[in-house]
């Protein structure tokens, strides 16, 4: 039977991905302070957020790759949003540039979904190795 509680409105896989994404922000900022660091917010959220989401998912008997996939999506959306806010306001948006941008966004999100899934599995593997449990 499904619960109609307002606290369970977000599916568990998305909850793990959102928690991983939020938890990855301080990690990304700290790594960005290192000398010669080239980490972007979107890339750091995709990488570390997917690993953290996979670890959370493995501990909660959720598929780590599904949580990582959603974490990669959230990282890609944050990267595109930051680009539009910081750089997109200074561009002269012609039709050619808009079409190129939309194609590039689709390609970026597709690649980040795959990388998010891989890093989610890595996070699940790390959590299972440390705790000695098996993922569901």
- What pLDDT digit, counting tens, does each position of 23-74 carry? 998 988 888 888 888 878 888 888 999 999 999 999 888 899 999 999 999 9
User: Count of domains in the chain?
Assistant: 1
- pLDDT band per the 50, 70, 90 thresholds, residue 1: very low
Q: Is the distance from CB of 36 to CB of 49 less than 8 angstroms? A: no
Q: Is position 13 within any domain?
A: yes
Q: What is the pTM of this model?
A: 0.83
Q: Is position 1 within any domain?
A: no
3-state secondary structure of 37: coil
Q: How many helices (H) and strands (E) does the chain have?
A: 4, 0
Can you give the residue range of the structural domain that contains 89?
A: 6-131
Q: Is position 70 within any domain?
A: yes
* Cα three-residue angle 123-126-130, rounded to 5 degrees: 145
Select the more confidently predicted residue: 77 or 40.
77
Q: Is position 136 within any domain?
A: no
């Amino acid at each position: 039977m499904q619960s109609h509680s307002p606290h369970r409105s977000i599916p568990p896989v998305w909850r793990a991905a959102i928690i991983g994404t939020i938890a990855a922000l301080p990690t990304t900022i700290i790594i960005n302070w290192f000398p010669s660091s080239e980490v972007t917010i979107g890339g750091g959220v995709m990488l570390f957020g997917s690993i953290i989401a996979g670890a959370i998912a493995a501990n909660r008997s959720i598929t780590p790759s599904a949580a990582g996939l959603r974490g990669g999506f959230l990282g890609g959306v944050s990267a595109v949003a930051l680009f539009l806010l910081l750089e997109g306001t200074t561009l002269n948006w012609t039709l050619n540039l808009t079409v190129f941008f939309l194609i590039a966004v689709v390609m970026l999100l597709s690649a980040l979904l795959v990388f998010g899934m891989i890093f989610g599995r890595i996070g699940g593997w790390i959590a299972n190795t440390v705790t000695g449990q098996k993922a569901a």
